């Protein structure tokens, strides 16, 4: 009986261990814990904001999203047409943090990087939405902006801070 109870509770224990405290909103955390497969190392916004300047941020959103808002110095690699050659100039042992709006697309790109021999790859848990939600700056071509591309009305509900842009 004890084994059965443990087996039933294990997924909930794992769920709470893997994501608790990484995003401010419990509802957003619940969404992320079920949306993501947790197949790659996840890094919290708090941890990612403290990495040294040699870390490489890769933006796994589409070019129109990247144009509106990005994490400072992030390199756009896209999602729909991602090509591994886009990262050929990055050392395979560099610290790489991949992000998108919420973390789904970036998780898939991170999986591809790992499959191609990159050894220090993390997915930004909560994506650029949580980055902005926790008060960190986002940038456009002119510098710091309050605008953040919110993907669409459905996903944009998870972006609480800044100005939502959908174009």
CATH value at residue 73: 3.40.250.10
10-62 confidence digits (pLDDT tens): 444 444 334 444 898 999 999 999 999 999 999 999 999 999 999 999 999 99
Q: pTM of this prediction? A: 0.87
Residues in the chain: 167
Average pLDDT in the 54-73 region? 98
**Residue 146: domain span:** 2-165
Average pLDDT, the chain: 90
Separation between Cα atoms, residue 19 and residue 14, nearest integer Å: 9
Q: Which is higher by pLDDT, 87 or 9?
A: 87
**pLDDT band at 167; cut points 50, 70, 90:** confident
153 vs 165: CA distance, rounded Å: 10
pLDDT (tens digit per residue) in 73-89: 999 999 999 999 999 99
Q: HSE (CB half, 13 Å, CA atoms) of 33?
A: 19
Q: Determine the pLDDT at residue 78.
A: 97
| Structural domain count of the chain | 1
Position 1 pLDDT exceeds 70 = no
Map residue 165 onto helix, strand or coil. strand
Neighbours of 79 (CB within 10 A): 16
């Amino acid at each position: 009986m004890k084994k059965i109870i443990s087996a039933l509770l294990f997924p909930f224990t794992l769920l709470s261990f893997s994501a608790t405290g990484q995003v401010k909103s419990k509802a957003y955390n619940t969404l992320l814990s079920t949306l993501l497969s947790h197949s790659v190392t996840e890094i919290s916004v708090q941890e990612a904001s403290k990495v040294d300047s040699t870390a490489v941020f890769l933006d796994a959103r589409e070019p129109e999203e990247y144009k509106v808002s990005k994490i400072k110095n992030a390199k756009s690699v896209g999602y729909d047409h991602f090509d591994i050659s886009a990262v050929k100039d990055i050392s395979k042992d560099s610290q790489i943090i991949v992000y998108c709006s919420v973390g789904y697309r970036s998780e898939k790109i991170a999986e591809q990087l790992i499959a191609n021999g990159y050894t220090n790859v993390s997915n930004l848990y909560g994506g650029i939405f949580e980055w902005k939600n926790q008060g960190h700056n986002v940038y456009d071509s002119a510098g710091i902006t309050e605008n953040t591309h919110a993907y669409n009305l459905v996903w944009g509900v998870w972006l609480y801070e800044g100005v939502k842009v959908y174009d």
